[in-house]
Amino acid sequence: MKNLILLSVLFVVLVPVRIQAQSTPFVSDTEIDMLANEISGDRAFEHIRWLSHWHRNSGMEGYFKAADYVMQAAKDAGLEDVSFIEQPMDGANYTARTAELWMIEPVEIKLADIGDHAVYLTDGSHDADVAAELIWIGDASKETLKDLDVEGKIVLTNGSEYAAAYNAVWNKGALGIVTFRASEERSPMDFPDQIAWTHIPVDPPEGKSGTFAFSLPPRKGEILKSILSSTKSKDWFATGKETPGGKVVLKAKIDTEIGKKPGRTGFVEGWIRGSKYRDQQIVLTAHLQEEQGSANDDGSGCANLLELARTFNKLIREGKMQRPLRDIRFWWTDEIYSEYRYFMDHPEVPKQLLANLHQDMTGAKMSLGSRTQHLIFAPQSRMSYLDAVFENVATYVIRTNNSYLSAGRSGELSRPHSRAIYSTRGSREGYRAEFVPYFGSSDNMTFVEGAIGVPSVAMINWDDNYIHSSDDDLWQIDQTQLKRNNFIVASMTLFLGSAENTEVAKIAAETFAQGQKRLTNDMKTAMEILSGSNTGNDSLWKDAVMLIEQGIQREIRAMNSVRIFCGTDKSAIQMIEKLIDRLTERESGLMNDLQTYYRQATGTKPKDRSLTAAELAASKKIPSNAAPLETYFNNRDKVKFKSPLHSIMKSEVYNFVDGKRSYYDIYKAVRSEALSSGTWYYGTVRLNDVTGFLDAAVEAKALILK
């Protein structure tokens, strides 16, 4: 009877979602219309217009001007307790006041001026007032520079400005650098007029003086290179004057302000106070820190947070939306650093957080560069109910804001999009979005840390041809995509902000259903692994079994995460326990199916999965995190271990450390995660890489062996 009740709950909750696809159980039709009517991509765009004025790298004057703007806009949007949380910065505060680069021979041409764009000057550059001959140094490697005399000259390179600073300036006496490499390893042939955002160390090596570098677009850099390599006369820069090649003299004049260390940075915080729960806060994040422009990365996320704050407060004020039961915290951060520093300073805070929803690059016009909005799940170490709610709500937006042949031609649905979310000045393009396995390198990574333990999902569009360059500006922003992405975050926040035990059936059912899809993918991957052996292979069989075992453990963790909404409701708790029992039962069925497939593929029975000597040794080591958090994170920076492990898999090695799992348990969890996503995505995880990495972390005292 209990099983029948459970199946009835699952059927009632899940079937409408699967059949209709024009609704979601997590927000009602009334709430969908309410949010779609109020959220404005056009208002968000106006915030981006302001933020794009400032070169706002960490600790710069422009960063603090942007923070001041956000603070006032957050107050105007009705947020409570808006404040700037000041934090120390390891390096010095740095701001460039003026910087110009001129060619004075063979003809006078202004090549760069930060009044035109801040990224012309490489961050970290020092004061200069010099005129010197220019010399081509290729990729700036030590090998290329070996026989070149660059002392007293300015060097031209299409390689790394870092390499040029060390190899040409500090090792061989060059005065400064001009670089014209493309940003993010893009082809300069595709973006000849794009200026890359570049950096050199503010602090020179001991005994050396600070230097400078200018970043030119590839087209200008190639012309300078051509002049240096030619003896012919030509009108090189279309000035109307033919001038000889072979020699270029540049003049650089730079005025910067460099403070003392440590510097200062920080982040803006604002609140919508909940009416009931104080220890289950929802944190919405975006980051202020980037180069001038930075309209999409991450002006879009910052602007959407301001617009979401305005929307919620207006709806609450008008009585259309109830004040949430949980606190909603808005953070505009110095990317990644702010959260790590804040958690180290306030280690009690992570225990008060329910979830993080992160917006990074959520305003891209999809048709420019064929970009896709990546909807990023949590890593498998932190998989939870949040991934299920995210997938359901975002799928609703994908289905209703793209065109489908059969549905569109039936005549019963609006065209081109069935429940369109548009902005007044935005495009009418479809919502090109895709769910992808975990990616870090943005603020979401700080929340899913094993030592922090907060579920997080994120949005980042990719591939992006404009990020970290002069091209990341207003012209490639789409107000409609701003609105759609903000709608997803607003819907999830609205639901999670007030979800209680009465919502457990919805959350549990969706989490269970999404888990079944993931387990099916695990089974498919396991069978593909076994299909590579027709004679029987112990290691392949171990991998296949590992995928099923770890998949079940992952889904049990996800189901257990729903308990946060149960309170003392025994029936809700029983439902979760019953679904966990179902997962355990499914493990037996999947293993039986796997054994049958193995026998058919190999003609033999699977062998005993006894541990190798290396696996046995790994199973006897149980690591735990060093305490406190500051010691743990600081010592992690000291870990030295070279291996081909993918950077995300390295982070997952840390994330699975809990004082209970052994080295071998951690290896199995991380290897299974990599296998389930594919080696093309996360690379290959090997036992010796995991154990070596963990040993190095123990040696650095980031981890402690129990």
Tens of pLDDT, residues 623-633: 999 999 999 99
Residues 384, 501: Cα–Cα separation, whole Å: 17
- pLDDT confidence of residue 163: 96
Assess contact for 245 and 65: CB atoms under 8 A.
Answer: no
- pLDDT confidence of residue 16: 44
CATH of domain 94-258: 3.50.30.30
- The CATH architecture annotation of domain 27-90+264-496 reads 3-Layer(aba) Sandwich (3.40)
Closest CA relative to residue 330, chosen from 296, 302, 299, 291: 302
Tens of pLDDT, residues 409-425: 877 788 889 899 999 99
Tens of pLDDT, residues 38-57: 999 999 999 999 999 999 99
| C-alpha distances out from residue 670 to 231, 626, 646, Å | 59, 21, 11
Residues 249, 256: Cα–Cα separation, whole Å: 23
Tens of pLDDT, residues 646-680: 999 999 999 999 999 999 999 999 999 999 999 99
Tens of pLDDT, residues 151-181: 999 999 999 999 999 999 999 999 999 999 9
Residue 595 amino acid letter = Q
**What is the pTM for the complete model shown?**
0.94
Residue 3: pLDDT band with limits 50, 70, 90:
low
Residue 34: pLDDT band with limits 50, 70, 90:
very high
Mean of all residue pLDDT scores within the chain: 94
H or E stretch including 73? helix 61-76
Assess contact for 165 and 211: CB atoms under 8 A.
Answer: yes
Residues 278, 329: Cα–Cα separation, whole Å: 11
Tens of pLDDT, residues 311-362: 999 999 999 999 999 999 999 999 999 999 999 999 999 999 999 999 999 9
Tens of pLDDT, residues 512-526: 999 999 999 999 999
Please give the full DSSP string across 344-413, using - where no structure is assigned: HH-TTGGGGEEEEEEESS--B-TTTTT-EEEEEPPPGGG--HHHHHHHHHHHHHHHHTS--HHHHTSSSS
Residues 36, 485: Cα–Cα separation, whole Å: 11
Residue 12: pLDDT band with limits 50, 70, 90:
very low
Give φ, ψ of 2 to 5 degrees: -60, -40
- pLDDT confidence of residue 7: 53
Strand order in the sheet with 109-113: 109-113, 94-105, 249-258, 128-136, 154-157, 176-179, 213-215
